[in-house]
Amino acid sequence: MSNPLFELLAEPEQSKLAKGTRFTPQEIRQQPETWRDSAGRVYGNRDALIAFLKEAKILVPQCRDRARFVLAGAGSSDFAARCLTGLFAKRFLTDAEACPSTDIITHPSQTFLPDRNYVVMLLTRSGESPETVEAYRIAADLYPRVRQIAVTCNAEGDLAKECRTARSRALLILLSDVTNDRGLAMTSSFTNMVIAGQALAYIQDADEYLGIVERLAQAGENVLTSAPSIASEVVEKGFSRAFFLGSGCLKGCATEAGLKLQEMTSGAVMCGADSFLGIRHGPQASIRNGTVVCYFVSSDPYVRRYELDLIRENNVKGLGRFSIAVVDSACEGLHDMVDYVIEFDPDNNLNIPDAVRPPIDVILGQLLGLFSAIHRGLKPDAPSREGVINRVVEGVAIYPRG
């Protein structure tokens, strides 16, 4: 079976330049290998991270003054944060909240209480978006009980430079420059920031996570082998909108997947995202005849029972034009309820829990965005013809704090 993604990668450089596919296909393709590198980079700084977290009283057992985690970013970086909060709460046994850096700028007092300790993990591809840099400065200048960890793909970005000058209250996790996506839409930068966050959550069990990331890479390769032909076929058949569903951390992943498709079609395909149980409370009405519905089906048998009920209900009601399920291995009856199944662990030997799955599942949204852009005559590397959106956010004025 041909692989449309690999075919794009094999095209001559001149063709890639003309079609705007010089960067994005490769940035999607490279992800599994870069995940290994990103985990290694976190653990290359393991001693400093452990010392930093101990100073913040994160790794101090039974500490009454244990810091609370705030995971912050804007846009895709915020969705990466949403993929991590449950894992942080479970691994560090403390509160963990995803808060957009855009909200920290306008309403910092709704995030930070004056009598609490916090560790803010800022996620940013470039480290140059005005909102993320200003959120860092607000936390650093106004809240002395806040420590910050910045995860970025750009060594020369403003945030990386500021973190290097404030080591007592800030620490930098710098990912490979190859993950600093040159395409407009964040792809490998998104998944690698999630990987870096997961590695941090396992900071005291590095060997365990290195085994997990190896299995994630194998699962990612499985998806990149099977999903491109499915995504390309669905795009060729046509759809006008899309809806992505996931439970727990996979809800954040679903939101990011929808954004990829929406960004790379310059808004021509509008997307929605929700949880399997949440969609019945109104959003289900938006699934029309021209909708492709993408299900990120849980690996947890208990959670999966609720999800299969919803898939079955949508199928009986005839909602959507096409449906795609991403799943570890297809359970009985799933093929009868959806049009396409993407299995990332068909032999049931990888044992990947939902808490670390977002880098795998989001690839479907990336591929749908890539092939939809090409199908609509857009350039995936720069799909916004009118310049409405840019690789680094523009037009944000930062005002003096009164």
pLDDT tens digits for range 59-112 = 877 777 889 999 999 999 999 999 999 999 999 999 999 999 999 999 999 999
**Contact criterion met (CB below 8 Å) for 172 and 154:** no
Q: Per mean pLDDT, which range of 149-158, 285-294, 312-321, 387-396 is the poorest?
A: 387-396
Q: Report residue 386's pLDDT band, with 50, 70 and 90 as the boundaries.
A: confident
Average pLDDT over residues 335-353: 97
**Contact criterion met (CB below 8 Å) for 71 and 149:** no
Task: Give dist(CA 330, CA 278) in Å, integer.
Answer: 23
- Two tokens, residue 395: 């037009």
Tell me the DSSP string of 190-238.
HHHHHHHHHHHHTTT-HHHHHHHHHHHHHHHHHHHHHHHHHHHHHHHH-
Local structure of residue 397 (DSSP, 8 states): P
Single pTM value for the model: 0.96
User: In the CATH scheme, what is the homologous superfamily, with its name and number, of domain 4-18+216-375?
Assistant: Glucose-6-phosphate isomerase like protein; domain 1 (3.40.50.10490)
- Two tokens, residue 101: 């850096």
- Residues near 59 by Cβ (< 8 Å), separated by ≥ 6? 50, 53, 92, 204
- What is the reported pLDDT for 60? 77
Q: Report residue 384's pLDDT band, with 50, 70 and 90 as the boundaries.
A: confident
Average pLDDT over residues 363-388: 91
CA distances from 353 to 95, 219, 370 (A): 21, 12, 27
- What is the reported pLDDT for 397? 86
Taking only the tens place, the pLDDT of each residue in 241-286 is: 999 999 999 999 999 999 999 999 999 999 999 999 999 999 999 9
Tell me if domain 4-18+216-375 and domain 45-204 are identical in fold: yes
- Is 130 a residue whose pLDDT tops 70? yes
Could you tell me the fold of the domain covering 45-204? Rossmann fold (3.40.50)
As a whole number, the mean pLDDT across the chain is 94
Q: Report residue 391's pLDDT band, with 50, 70 and 90 as the boundaries.
A: low
Average pLDDT over residues 339-362: 97
Task: Give dist(CA 374, CA 17) in Å, integer.
Answer: 13
Task: Give dist(CA 283, CA 292) in Å, integer.
Answer: 14
Local structure of residue 381 (DSSP, 8 states): T
Average pLDDT over residues 370-387: 91
Task: Give dist(CA 68, CA 134) in Å, integer.
Answer: 21
Average pLDDT over residues 126-154: 94
- Is 183 a residue whose pLDDT tops 80? yes
Domain ranges of the chain: 4-18+216-375, 45-204
Task: Give dist(CA 4, CA 6) in Å, integer.
Answer: 6
- What is the reported pLDDT for 388? 60
- What is the reported pLDDT for 254? 98
Q: Report residue 123's pLDDT band, with 50, 70 and 90 as the boundaries.
A: very high
The SS3 assignment for 156 reads coil
Q: CB burial class (10 A; 0-12, 13-18, 19+) of residue 283?
A: middle
Average pLDDT over residues 277-305: 96
Average pLDDT over residues 106-119: 93
For residue 241, what is the enclosing H or E element?
A: strand 241-245
Higher-pLDDT residue of 151, 67: 151
Other CB atoms within 10 Å distance of the CB of residue 109: 10
The span from the first CA to the last CA of the chain, in angstroms, equals 62
Task: Give dist(CA 295, CA 269) in Å, integer.
Answer: 18
Q: Per mean pLDDT, which range of 141-145, 191-195, 242-246 is the poorest?
A: 141-145
Fill in the amino acid letter for 359: P
Q: Report residue 390's pLDDT band, with 50, 70 and 90 as the boundaries.
A: low
- Is 197 a residue whose pLDDT tops 90? yes
For residue 135, what is the enclosing H or E element?
A: helix 130-142
- What is the reported pLDDT for 398? 87
Q: Per mean pLDDT, which range of 103-107, 159-163, 183-187, 391-395 is the poorest?
A: 391-395
